[in-house]
Structure 1
Amino acid sequence: MKTHLRVIRRLADGELHSGEELAQALGISRAAVWKAVHKAGEVLGLEVRSVRGRGYRLAAPLELLDSERILAAIPQQGRRRIKRLELYDDIDSTNSHLMREAQQGAPSGTLCLAERQRAGRGRRGRTWVSPFGANIYLSLLWRYPFGPAAFSGLSLAAGAAVAGVLEAEGVPDIGLKWPNDVLWRHRKLAGLLLEVAGEAQGPSLVVVGLGLNTHLRGAQAAEIDQPWANLGSVSGLGAVSRNQLAARLAERLTEVMAHYGADGLAPFLPEWERFDRYRGEPVEVRLADRTFTGIHAGVTPQGALRLDRNGTIQTFQAGEVSLRAAAGIGCGTG
């Protein structure tokens, strides 16, 4: 582990730690501690305060992810579904990592979490802002005997699962926007990214990636180009434990993945419809070079969007469109 990451793990409690204490604990010089503290600020964007004659502390404590705590918080049946848990302080992308691992034979049920993504990715090639210790970045690998065409409804099933977990944790006003956005009061709180590989007739594999804003700070969000939300700023919501939340999400997502192979989208569709915040609203569906307007009329049993255009229903597949509230209505965009 890099020195600046080792120092941050020591400072995560938010308490003062002297340079001498850090140097002894990590087996480095005090000069190396000073360099690591400054690098943590430059590379990780963390505010580390220096108190003259006393040492260093973070401006705010961090609850760093702990694989043992996460697994301990998952009931036994859920733990059985997780065949491997990988946790990284720093990674390019949890999805990219698992896609590479899949090619090397990683088993179904491999779970990857990270404190920071250097190249976090959203849908349609967008960047997912992924600062250190601020959010949950989680990806899950699953293998199926059938071909990738059957995954058309999986993003909806996963989205409904995430929304249900957040609601159960006491987060109010949770909603979904087709095909893969989790909203809080029409602001983007989380997003899902599915990547698939395999033969047309099977077998195949899918990696479901989740980015969830938990403790994102304003300066870190400067790159986000749409209204966004953060669990840490939801009024009335108590302290959010990243480890507990990661455990709940992992438990529910593995359950969805396990059942999707046999049951498809059908068991999860009522939950999706309950959280759908755009149904019955005028919307725009944007393809690469065309825009379609109409009334959001729900989704098909396979997860395709249904758009009512003056009484004619037109369907759109996930991954092909951008859905926004039509001009003139009071919804956020995403």
Structure 2
Amino acid sequence: MPTPLPGPVTAGWPAVSELELLDTGQIRAGLSDAGRDRLARLEIHDQIDSTNTHLMREASAGAPSGAVCLAERQTAGRGRRGRAWISPFGVNLYLSILWRYPLAPAALGGASLAVGAALAEILRTAGVSDLALKWPNDILWQGRKLAGLLLEVAGESQGPSHLVVGVGLNLRMDPTQGNDIDQPWTTLDQALNGKPLSRNRLAARILDDLMAALEQYGSEGLAPFLDRWRQFDTLQGKPVRLLMGERIIEGRHAGIGPDGSLQLDTPDGRRSFQTGEVSLRGS
């Protein structure tokens, strides 16, 4: 569970000027003792192609579990299904975490839901209301995209495997910087009505809680995260459309299964869809 913030909603989140560059010392200082133990390596780049791509390369070269990469700007940021992730300098958070498991890659299919639930809880603790999780990996505020996740897995068929979790969180991006985004989007600044948060403190909190979630997923699987995810599932019981390439499947959102699959009630009965195969849109 996320570490509770003391006092009022924004207590412990220091105010900052509009541009606050990422700093390894400040991020390390903001971690809990357990977070510092889990963190194996922390890199911050002024510019990089993609934090996920970088850590996947580093994983192949033997980088340890708990390696973390952040960047001020990405030149080839990636979202799900090959979409570009717009990544201007210094105004958002772009970070990736490498985590190693003895498990087979197939066992990590529910990790995106575990991470999504943990990230939504962090944002709620920071004072954001009206949050929603859209299966499998989007965080919305008032129906607009606030954050996205990109999870990439590699390994032996029976294990071990490694997972790179990428987080893109819009903080203070100017509307002109998001002209190329092809869906409604928002920023944390809007969700908090302009109340400032420290980028470094927020990055530390995200790393703390996501590393804890990744560790817990390895020992307990998806089960402890299901109810945590469901509390942000605002599409439960509503009519939706699933986009599968050129196919559109319509039905009623019936929640998520024990394995993290999307459950959809269709004219042909209840059907399950696995993470990574479909996109979900409210009808």
TM-score between both structures, scaled by the size of structure 1: 0.79
Are the equivalent residues in 2 in contact too, given 1:281–1:295 (CA < 8 A)?
yes
- Equivalent residue letter for 1:314: R
Distance in 1 between the 2:248 and 2:131 partners? 27
Distance in 1 between the 2:110 and 2:135 partners? 11
- In structure 2, relative to structure 1, the CA distance for the partners of 1:237 and 1:264 (3 Å cut) is farther
Task: Tell me if 1:76 matches 2:33.
Answer: yes
What is the number of equivalent residue pairs in this alignment? 268
Query: Aligned-pair distance for 1:206?
Result: 0.5
Are the equivalent residues in 1 in contact too, given 2:127–2:192 (CA < 8 A)?
no
What residue in structure 2 maps to residue 325 of structure 1?
282
Query: Aligned-pair distance for 1:310?
Result: 3.5
TM-score between both structures, scaled by the size of structure 2: 0.92
Structure 1 gaps of 5+ residues are 1-13, 15-59, 327-334
Are the equivalent residues in 1 in contact too, given 2:264–2:271 (CA < 8 A)?
yes
Distance in 2 between the 1:253 and 1:108 partners? 13
Distance in 1 between the 2:158 and 2:191 partners? 45
- In structure 2, relative to structure 1, the CA distance for the partners of 1:168 and 1:235 (3 Å cut) is closer
- Equivalent residue letter for 2:188: L
The secondary structure found in structure 2 opposite 1:278 is coil
Map 1:229-308 → 2, pairs under 5 A:
229-236=186-193, 238-308=195-265
Are the equivalent residues in 2 in contact too, given 1:294–1:307 (CA < 8 A)?
yes
The secondary structure found in structure 2 opposite 1:295 is strand
* 1:203-229 deviations in Å (ceiling 9; x for gaps): 110100000000111110001011001
Greater CA radius of gyration, 1 or 2? 1
Moved more, 61-70 or 125-134: 61-70
What residue in structure 1 maps to residue 140 of structure 2?
183
What residue in structure 1 maps to residue 51 of structure 2?
94
Map 1:25-40 → 2, pairs under 5 A:
none
Distance in 1 between the 2:21 and 2:105 partners? 35
Residue from 65, 68, 73 that aligns with 1:108: 65
Query: Aligned-pair distance for 1:311?
Result: 7.1
Query: Aligned-pair distance for 1:289?
Result: 2.6
Query: Aligned-pair distance for 1:236?
Result: 3.6
Distance in 2 between the 1:187 and 1:142 partners? 29
Task: Tell me if 1:155 matches 2:112.
Answer: yes
Map 1:177-216 → 2, pairs under 5 A:
177-216=134-173
Structure 2 gaps of 5+ residues are 1-15
Are the equivalent residues in 1 in contact too, given 2:128–2:192 (CA < 8 A)?
no
* 1:249-298 deviations in Å (ceiling 9; x for gaps): 00000001111111111001111000012111100011113111000000
Are the equivalent residues in 2 in contact too, given 1:89–1:114 (CA < 8 A)?
yes
- Equivalent residue letter for 1:86: E
Query: Aligned-pair distance for 1:237?
Result: 5.2
Residue from 64, 73, 84 that aligns with 1:127: 84
* 1:279-331 deviations in Å (ceiling 9; x for gaps): 111000111131110000001111000001147110001111010011xxxxx
The secondary structure found in structure 2 opposite 1:275 is coil
Output the aligned Cα RMSD.
Answer: 1.3
Q: 4+ runs of 1 displaced by more than 4 Å?
A: none
Q: Which has the higher contact order (CA 8 A, sep 6+)?
A: 2
Between the aligned residues of both structures, percent identity stands at 56
What residue in structure 1 maps to residue 8 of structure 2?
none
